[in-house]
A and B are shown apart, each in its own frame.
Chain A
Amino acid sequence: MMKRRDFLAGTAILVFSTMNSRATVISGGLPWIPSAGTPPPPVRPGPWHYFTSDEGRAIEALADRIIPPDPQTPGGKDSGCAVFIDRQLAGPYGRAEGHYNQPPFLPGTKQQGWQSANGPAAIYREALIALDKYCQSKYQGKRFADLSDPEKDELLKGLEDDKVKLEGVDGKSFFALVIKDVQTGFFADPLYGGNRDMVAWKMIGFPGARYNYLDWVERHNERFPLPPVSITGRADWSPKT
């Protein structure tokens, strides 16, 4: 019978086949590579990594209209959604890394999906310029972030309904992308910069990165009693100084 400690004792023979290759030959035992899947380092607040300060202001304003603050739960800005998007755009997501990026790039049907050479980072840059340009011509030189909340909502509704047209940019699909990214940041683990202090999880009652609910499976219709926890723990787990 094979027991778990045997796994740990097993010795793998790893032979590296060529230089510059990750390929290995595995034989005789299971390789043991501790922390092979360690999560990325936590995002820290601070200066923008990708956005310019104008872009950052615009995204914070967008985040607060997509998820407005209310007395119980902060909005998109204070929950860190703009920071989340900034760090995502500065990383592999922004560059569409890992996607099939070979030409030719031809227009296709909706069912054929994304067919642009631009990754999300480039799309945000172009679209935010076009958005501010539109606002400046329509609202006496004001940028998007400087509009009143009703003005912002009216404009965003126009983008959503494809009634407001931005110059050289598909405003409707850009706004859909921003909605998706803001809401993703709101609900993702706080590790990534949004959902600060797990505000989104507290709002809905999601207990977070827990791994064992065996004692609650059959407690039907009873609210789960424990507060949420992130991959990096909880603030009150750290010793107070």
Chain B
Amino acid sequence: MSRKLPKKDVVVIGLGWTGSILANALTDEGLDVIAIERGPWRDAPTEFPPNYAQDELRYRIRHELFLRPEQNTFTFRNKMDQTALPIRDWGSFMPPNGVGGGGVHWNAETFRFMPSDFVLKTHLTERYGASFLPQDMTIQDWGVTYDDLEPHYDAFEYLCGTSGTAGNLRGQIQEGGNPFEGPRSRPYPTPAQKQPFSHTLFAKAARELGYKPFPQPSGNLSQAYTNPLGIRMGPCTYCGFCEWFGCGNYSKASPQTTILPLLIRKSNFALRDNSEVIRIELDRSGKRATGVTFVDTGGVEWQQPADLVILSAYTMFNVQLLLHSKIGAPYDPVANTGVVGRNFTHQTISSVNGFFDNKKFNFNPFISSGAIGMCIDEFNGDNFDHGPHGFVGGGYMGQVQTNGRPIQSTSVPPGTPKWGAAWKSAVRDNYLSTVRPGTGIHGSFYSYRDVYLDLDPTYKDRFGRPLMRLTIDFHDNELKQNAFLTDKFAEIIRAMGAHTVEKQYRKGPYDSTDYQTTHLNGGAIMGADPSTSAINRYLQSWDVPNLFVMGASAFPQNAGYNPTGTVAALAFWSAAAIRGQYLKNPGPLVHA
């Protein structure tokens, strides 16, 4: 038996970036909003103050801020004919947990996707012909354009105080910025961060090779900033403990440092933490959500009725909740029918380490920030002619080294033993003089018919619900893309003056134990056609119009950038549609 709570206007499932953005927008409309968050309350100055947050073992190696797989995990297999097994400890990605979600421990790289990314299918078909695309590739246009989203990208950047150099101001290409970006209506709110030595050296080498390097847009701020909500942030101190870590210095944009101090104080907002929504409830018609059912950490089940449901959990948990709530037709890759679970994607990451003469180079790798770096975009999206290369897609690349944390940053030249005296002296001799870009090549991952999400037939979560099953592998298109990009990247690292370069190509099969990024996407994608998308261009469920689904689960395929800027822009775009259209006339915003 569940206990029933008083009805609210809006229930928000998950209080990360998108939940915070929606809750703030809808409370501004005067609505009574409750957010229900699986994990605990967390605040920057109390949970990760700068006097002890720099603990690599605790946060990076033992994953303190993340979801525990015992709470919820996934099963994984590469191919449809394999038996999926549970991911028992995190590997290739790291699902967040708790108030702030991934916004607490992201690196804060704040990119926009390119205009062509949103009309990908149309763009590539027009330029190369439909037969140039692999037969089982299922890429789609988004149903929304860059121009639709531009004001909302802008809103997120000004919320965060993003530090960067504009490359395209209202159509005018700007020196020092990314010339390939879509036009932006105004400059970044704060100038780009200062760059450490190796990042500067990369930019110089790239420029000499004819590329146009630009500073990575960063949510680690170059200077103090007060955002439009009146919340103040301080300059980043380059401590080198950013991704996987919380920032107690109010220097990294997160819900805690940009929204929550205002939102939590609103009288028409409440938050329930340590409470996991297990189902979205529907009325008898199955076309209207009546609220949600959640379970607190004491095991007590509660019902929270509401008129409007915002699903704003992490990608796969959005999809899992839709499937468990029987909203939308589950995707069937054999029949090629259904929508919930289709077009699941990740990212295609690789890197190249450069080893330099330690008598001439000292990079002080520990002086860094999460979104520091100098990048080039010549090989992203369709910025180059793919005709001769036989693949589509690409990524940005750059010296984006975020840290010199020693458990994971003591790289040694290829051929060095993994232990013993030779290993020890190689670590000593190379630590300060190695360029280790980490996610140096940030490649796209396009969608395929046999890469998808569904419910596992065997393994269950702690409530007895089937786990999500991930069926995912790299296809030749992405591996070819990665080989091409990795070789190009290595040329720049070599030109920086490295005596040895170590190319770490991304190779198949997809490995669930090898960290890439937490940029998993799709499964509840947006689009113009309800037979191939779960939500419309405003992120509104085609099946249940008083349900909106936020997050990267909406991406029909992944571009060669970090997703958070686009995830947040979509949230602002959806919030504007709810405020401007839906609340005046609740019902479907698009009639298909």
Pair B69/A37 contact, Cβ less than 8 Å? no
B256 CB to closest chain A CB (Å) equals 9
Pair A112/B271 contact, Cβ less than 8 Å? no
Set of chain A residues within 8 Å of B510, measured between Cβ atoms: 111
Q: Which of A2, A208, A223 contacts B231 (CB 8 A)?
A: A2
- Is B362 an interface residue when CB atoms closer than 8 A count as contact? yes
Nearest A residue to B364, CB-CB: A224
Q: At the interface with chain A, which of B50-58, B114-122, B535-543, B557-565?
A: B50-58
Q: Scan B355-368; emit 1 where CB is below 8 A from any A CB, else 0.
A: 00000011110110
Give the number of residues in A that approach B within 8 Å (Cβ atoms): 91
Set of chain A residues within 8 Å of B226, measured between Cβ atoms: 1
- Is A50 an interface residue when CB atoms closer than 8 A count as contact? no
Q: Which of A36, A38, A217 contacts B367 (CB 8 A)?
A: A217
Set of chain A residues within 8 Å of B517, measured between Cβ atoms: none
Nearest A residue to B467, CB-CB: A100
Pair B88/A114 contact, Cβ less than 8 Å? yes
Q: Scan A6-18; emit 1 where CB is below 8 A from any B CB, else 0.
A: 1100101000011
> How many angstroms from the CA of A38 to the CA of B248 in the assembled complex?
13
Pair A224/B239 contact, Cβ less than 8 Å? no
Pair B459/A102 contact, Cβ less than 8 Å? yes
Pair A217/B410 contact, Cβ less than 8 Å? no
> How many angstroms from the CA of A3 to the CA of B231 in the assembled complex?
7
> How many angstroms from the CA of A109 to the CA of B240 in the assembled complex?
35
A22-B274 contact, Cβ under 8 Å, with A179-B418, A212-B237: yes
- Is B416 an interface residue when CB atoms closer than 8 A count as contact? no
Q: Which of A39, A188, A204 contacts B52 (CB 8 A)?
A: A39
Pair B364/A201 contact, Cβ less than 8 Å? no
> Which residues in chain A, 83-117, are within 8 Å of chain B measured between CB atoms?
92-93, 96, 98-102, 104, 106, 108-115
- Is A221 an interface residue when CB atoms closer than 8 A count as contact? yes
Set of chain B residues within 8 Å of A153, measured between Cβ atoms: 420
> Which residues in chain B, 223-259, are within 8 Å of chain A measured between CB atoms?
226, 229-232, 235, 237-240, 249-250
- Give the size category of B's interface with A: 35 or more
Pair A111/B421 contact, Cβ less than 8 Å? no
> How many angstroms from the CA of A37 to the CA of B200 in the assembled complex?
36
Q: Which of A21, A35, A110, A188 contacts B296 (CB 8 A)?
A: A21
Q: Which of B52, B404, B418 contacts A38 (CB 8 A)?
A: B52
- Is B165 an interface residue when CB atoms closer than 8 A count as contact? no
> Which residues in chain B, 91-132, are within 8 Å of chain A measured between CB atoms?
91
A25-B271 contact, Cβ under 8 Å, with A100-B70, A201-B406, A213-B237: yes
Q: At the interface with chain A, which of B39-47, B326-334, B387-395, B435-443?
A: B39-47
- Is A189 an interface residue when CB atoms closer than 8 A count as contact? yes
Pair A66/B419 contact, Cβ less than 8 Å? yes
Pair B418/A223 contact, Cβ less than 8 Å? no
9 additional A-B pairs beyond A36-B46, A113-B76, beta carbons within 8 Å, are A1-B230, A2-B261, A27-B264, A36-B43, A37-B52, A111-B513, A184-B61, A188-B61, A191-B55
The 6 closest A-B pairs by CB, nearest first: A21-B298, A23-B296, A204-B431, A220-B197, A98-B68, A187-B406
Residue ranges of A at the interface with B (Cβ–Cβ < 8 Å): 1-4, 6-7, 10, 12, 17-40, 65-68, 70, 73, 92-93, 96, 98-102, 104, 106, 108-115, 153, 156, 160, 179, 182-184, 187-189, 191-192, 200-201, 203-214, 216-218, 220-224, 231
A-B contacts, 26 of them at CB < 8 A, read: A2-B229, A17-B298, A18-B298, A23-B297, A24-B41, A24-B272, A33-B43, A66-B420, A68-B421, A73-B424, A99-B69, A109-B82, A110-B513, A113-B76, A113-B87, A204-B427, A204-B428, A205-B431, A210-B366, A211-B237, A214-B238, A216-B367, A221-B197, A221-B362, A222-B364, A231-B52
